[in-house]
Amino acid sequence: MYILEKLQMSIQTNKIIHVNNEHIFGATTLKNIALPEKNNTALHVCIDPEAVMINRKRLAEELNMPLDNWALPWQKHTNNMAHVTSSDKGKGAYDKNTSIMNVDAVYTTEPNILIGVFTADCLGILVIDETTPCICAIHSGWKGTTLEITKKCLSELIEKDLIHPKSCHVYFSPSIQFDSLEVGMEVVEQMKQISIDTTPFIRYMPNEKAYIDNQGINIEMCKELGVPAQNIHPSVYDTKKELNTCFSYRNDKQTGEHFTFGYIK
């Protein structure tokens, strides 16, 4: 699987490139201990906002996508999604308090608007459909998964004819994986209430704990909506184990975050 992922995406300095063609660019930033705040780009979880802005400006220059064209959410573990248009450019780019508030997913059909979500152990999901074109970025920790944010957002975009199951692709950021995501039985009970069969994605332990495959559940949601398996691109990076390249709240508590983002060219 590791080899397969390498074929599906290329790694450049400080980020994983998910897609880069004439229509769309999409990537996830990585931790780098040599950079300010270890390459954290999240203003809402940082020690030094100036260091975060250095990282953002560096990324903007690399992409030739000025910060004035970024539009970012301040996530709150909801299942809310916002439609981003040119009128939203600049939101959250320089000041977290100007972010698109109380949403955990953003989408756009317009060119030259960079959208994205921030994650440490949670999932960052990038959905693209070049035929529209449309891109959507989703943040789904276990709370978002119990709220079925991925299914809700994809269903809405399909209903609006903005993405099509057979032509869209879904890319996953590094996240805490099945072997590392230990939860209590109260989380298990919530997972069992969602609309898909989560049985294969729960591994019970003898200490009233269980391991959850958060990525696997979200992949299953995509499949149930008709996205072909070959169009779904999981990540093998476990944020709890990859200490040098991944941010992890469970490891560090005070930590930066990955940025899963994309834009239509």
Does residue 191 form part of some domain?
no
Contact between 112 and 263 under an 8 Å Cβ cutoff? The reply is yes
Residue-wise pLDDT tens digits, 104-133: 999 999 999 999 999 999 999 999 999 999
Residue-wise pLDDT tens digits, 182-232: 999 999 999 999 999 999 999 999 999 999 999 999 999 999 999 999 999
Does residue 66 form part of some domain?
yes
Q: Reduced to 3 states, what is the DSSP secondary structure of residue 60?
A: helix
Number of domains in the chain: 1
Does residue 110 form part of some domain?
yes
- Residue 12 banded pLDDT, cuts 50, 70, 90: low
* 193 phi, psi to nearest 5 deg: -90, -10
Question: Residue 73: its pLDDT value, please?
Answer: 97
CA-closest candidate to residue 144, choices 169, 171, 117: 117
Does residue 202 form part of some domain?
no
Mean pLDDT score of the chain, rounded to an integer?
94
Q: pTM score, two decimals?
A: 0.94
In the block, residue with structure tokens 């990525």: 215
Q: 27: buried, middle or exposed (CB in 10 Å: 19+, 13-18, 0-12)?
A: buried
Helix (H) or strand (E) run with residue 153 in it? helix 149-159
Would you list the DSSP string of 132-144?
TTEEEEEEE-HHH
* Over residues 7-16, mean pLDDT: 63
Residue 3 scores a pLDDT above 60: no
* Six token digits for residue 264: 């239509």
Residue 8 scores a pLDDT above 60: no
CA separation for the pair 89, 177 (Å, rounded): 34
Contact between 49 and 55 under an 8 Å Cβ cutoff? The reply is no
Question: Residue 254: its pLDDT value, please?
Answer: 81
* Over residues 53-68, mean pLDDT: 97
CATH number of the structural domain spanning residue 16: 3.60.140.10
Give the range of the structural domain holding residue 122, as residue numbers without chain letter.
Answer: 2-182+214-264
Does residue 102 form part of some domain?
yes
First to last CA, the chain: 30
Question: Residue 4: its pLDDT value, please?
Answer: 38
Helix (H) or strand (E) run with residue 128 in it? strand 123-129
CA separation for the pair 156, 130 (Å, rounded): 17
C-alpha distance from residue 54 to each of 36, 58, 94 (Å) = 8, 6, 11
For residue 39, give the DSSP letter. G
Residue 153 scores a pLDDT above 90: yes
Does residue 20 form part of some domain?
yes
Contacts of 123 (CB under 8 A, 6+ apart): 138, 139, 140, 141, 144, 145, 172, 173, 175, 214, 215, 218
Q: Can you say whether the dihedral through the CA atoms of 189, 194, 198, 201 is positive or negative?
A: negative
Residue 9 scores a pLDDT above 50: no
Does residue 203 form part of some domain?
no
Residue 11 scores a pLDDT above 70: no
Helix (H) or strand (E) run with residue 263 in it? strand 258-264
Does residue 207 form part of some domain?
no
